[in-house]
Every structure is written in C-alpha cells, then in structure tokens.
Amino acid sequence: MTSPLGRAKASAESSREQAYADARKNHLAASTNALVRVDDVFAGYVPGVNILNGCDLHCDEGELVGIIGPNGAGKSTLLKSLFGLVSVREGKVTLRGEDITGKKAHQLVKLGVGFVPQTNNVFPRLTIEENLQMGLYHEPKKFSERFDYVAELFPALMARRKQRAGSLSGGERQMVAMGRALMPAPSVLLLDEPSAGLSPALQDEVFIRCRQINATGVSIIMVEQNARRCLQICDRGYVLDQGRNAYTASGKDLMNDPKVIELYLGTLAKA
C-alpha cells in the first residue's frame, strides 16, 4: 500500500509532467516569429550527463524575459548554451530564424548577441574606458558613438572612465560589464544573475538599469536568483525545473499562480 508521502510525491510528479507538456504546447504556438528561439535543447558539461533535458524558450523583439527556478535547474546552463559556451547535444537555437546552434561566442557577438556572466565579468587591471573598448574590439571606429550611448545609461561611471575596474564595488563592476556587452549594439542581451552578491539597494539599481536598457529596444533574457524582483520587471517569465520549462506566463501571472507559488515561489521568493 502506498504511503501518504508516496502519494504526495506521485501527485507532485504528475503535476510537473503535465506542466512540462502544457509548456511545450504553448511554446510551439507562441514562438513562430520570435527573435530568439530555443527548441527541445539538451546540453551539459560532462559527457553523458545532461543539465538541460528538452528545454524550450523564446524571446520576442523588445521583450524582457526572466528565468527563475531552483538551484541546479539549468538556468545558467541555458544562457551558456545560447552563447556557445556549453555544447548543445540535441535541439536547436535560432536567432531571427537563423540556426545559431553551436556557433562560437565571437560569432554570436557579431550577429547581435551580448552576454554578461555572473562572475569575473570585467578586466580588473583595465580602466572603465578600456573595458568598454574591449567590447568593441572588432569595430573600434564605432567607439565614440557607442560610448555616448552607454554613458547615458551609466553617467556616474563614465565620469570615472579612467579608473581601474578592479577598484570598483561589485555593483559598479556589474554596470561596467553590462556596458561592455552593450558596446557592439546587440539586439539581445543575456544576463546571468546580475544581482547576485549585491546589497538590496544595488540590486534595485541593477533592475532599474535592466529596464532602461530594455526601453532602448534591446531584448533581454535574464537568469535571476531574486525571483520576486525578476518577475516584477519582466514582460514574461519562465520557471525552469530539472532542465525543462515547467511554467511560462507574464511575470505578474507567475507571481499569482497557486501551483508556481506552491512548488517554487514559496522558497524562491524569499531569496
């Protein structure tokens, strides 16, 4: 006879599988004209071990998409797979309908994809200005034009353009990293936990900047540990679980979805 705990686990697993199926169906219906589209992707770091297990995602022009989920769900792996840093074993990634699966990071930058990693995301011995120059190494003649754009977003930092990045606070380094990724004028920006390790005040600053960047027309796909704030600012959110898309809806709808609250936000929203 099955124990109450066993029945509860079986019920939760059944709900999860139904959520996966519903999410897959919704993805196929909604992603036809997406800027970025991820279809049934399997990926991982160790041969024979997948972190992503049939992951779907799409981002439309001008959207800010947030990705949340428990630790180990595959959130950062998904971004790295998009940016060519983790091998995609099955499935496909497209940008404006073009297959970019497996392309190298430098190729993706030229195609209009920017990426800001969670850690080690600035050159500490270089100045702020030199860090920005590194973001436009392949088109140096456009530096002045793009510097003016980034300076409008981060005026306080640009006033200290000759200061070494290694002397900046964690939040300031994050701004420099975002600025550098924006220098080549990407159409989509991938952000890996931009608020990680920052104080609440600096976290708010990062989220405000994300919204400002998005308002200039840059689409954003953001992985975030601060589930509540992420869902508050994103147009649409994804909940990843065990390397698959469990739920997707507007940020507001996800915050108020009883199943999402019960299975995920009960702990994630406290982060």
Strand-pair partners of 63: none
Residue 136 has pLDDT above 80, yes or no: yes
**Between 17 and 192, the higher pLDDT residue:** 192
Angle between helices 170-182 and 200-215 (to 10 degrees): 10
pTM of the shown model: 0.89
Q: Position 164: which residue type?
A: R
Q: What is the pLDDT of residues 78-89, one digit of tens each?
A: 999 999 999 999
What residues have CB less than 8 Å from 58, skipping those under 6 apart? 27, 30, 31, 34, 35, 36, 37, 38
The chain-wide mean pLDDT, for the chain, equals: 90
Q: What is the mean pLDDT of residues 27-43?
A: 90
Q: What is the pLDDT of residues 198-212, one digit of tens each?
A: 888 889 999 999 999
**Between 243 and 7, the higher pLDDT residue:** 243
Residue 243 has pLDDT above 90, yes or no: yes
Residue 104 has pLDDT above 90, yes or no: yes
For 65-69, 186-190, 234-238, 264-268, which range has the lowest pLDDT when averaged over its residues?
264-268
Q: What percent of the chain has pLDDT over 70?
A: 92
Residue 7 has pLDDT above 70, yes or no: no
CA 224 to CA 239: how far, in whole Å? 11
Q: Position 129: which residue type?
A: E
**Between 120 and 35, the higher pLDDT residue:** 35
Residue 189 has pLDDT above 80, yes or no: yes
Residue 270 has pLDDT above 50, yes or no: no
Strand-pair partners of 245: 240
> What was the pLDDT predicted at 112?
96
pLDDT band at 271 (very low <50, low <70, confident <90, very high): very low
Helix runs in the chain, H state only = 4-30, 75-82, 105-111, 128-134, 143-153, 155-158, 170-182, 200-215, 227-233, 251-256, 258-260, 266-268
Give the DSSP letter string of 28-63.
HHH-TT-SEEEEEEEE-SBTTB-SEEEEEEEE-TT-
Q: What is the mean pLDDT of residues 155-169?
A: 91
CA nearest to 104, candidates 85, 91, 132, 119: 85
**Between 265 and 212, the higher pLDDT residue:** 212
CA 230 to CA 114: how far, in whole Å? 19
Residue 30 has pLDDT above 90, yes or no: no
Q: What is the mean pLDDT of residues 117-126?
A: 93
Q: Which two tokens stand for residue 245?
A: 């898309």
Please report how many Cα atoms fall inside a 13 Å half-sphere around the Cα of residue 155, on the Cβ side.
2
Residue 129 has pLDDT above 80, yes or no: yes
**Between 24 and 188, the higher pLDDT residue:** 188
